[in-house]
Amino acid sequence: MDACSSVSAGAQSQKVTYAKVFRAAREATFTPDVLRGSLVGRPYDLRHATVSTWLAGVPAATVAEWAGQAIAVLLEVYASFLGKGQQVETALGSGR
């Protein structure tokens, strides 16, 4: 096996382990209804839901800092979610 194959196999192994841990954490944390939804399928989905919820009541500059993004990037990616955080909270089962 050459060095590239070894690195590739190691990266794949990490990805599989990460996916197993993430799946187990999801099942231990969320209700069956939330698990059937589209907001917790991947780690990125959770990040997206969190940032979208923050944008419902936190200034964009603050959210950008918390998310580690430039304001321009944040607004480009999440513009459609401005003011819709309550919908995300409800979908995750935490809406009041």
Count CB-CB contacts under 10 A for residue 91: 17
Tokens of 89: 């909270």
Query: What mean pLDDT value characterizes the chain?
Result: 75
- With tokens 């907001």, the residue in question is 39
CA 4/CA 16 separation, integer angstroms: 18
Q: How many CB atoms lie within 10 A of CB 42?
A: 13
Residues contacting residue 79 through CB under 8 Å, at least 6 positions apart? none
The pTM (predicted TM-score) of the whole model is 0.56
Q: Between residues 80 and 1, which one has the greater pLDDT?
A: 80
Say whether 96 sits in a helix, a strand or coil: coil
pLDDT digit string, tens, across residues 14-42: 767 888 888 898 889 888 888 888 777 88
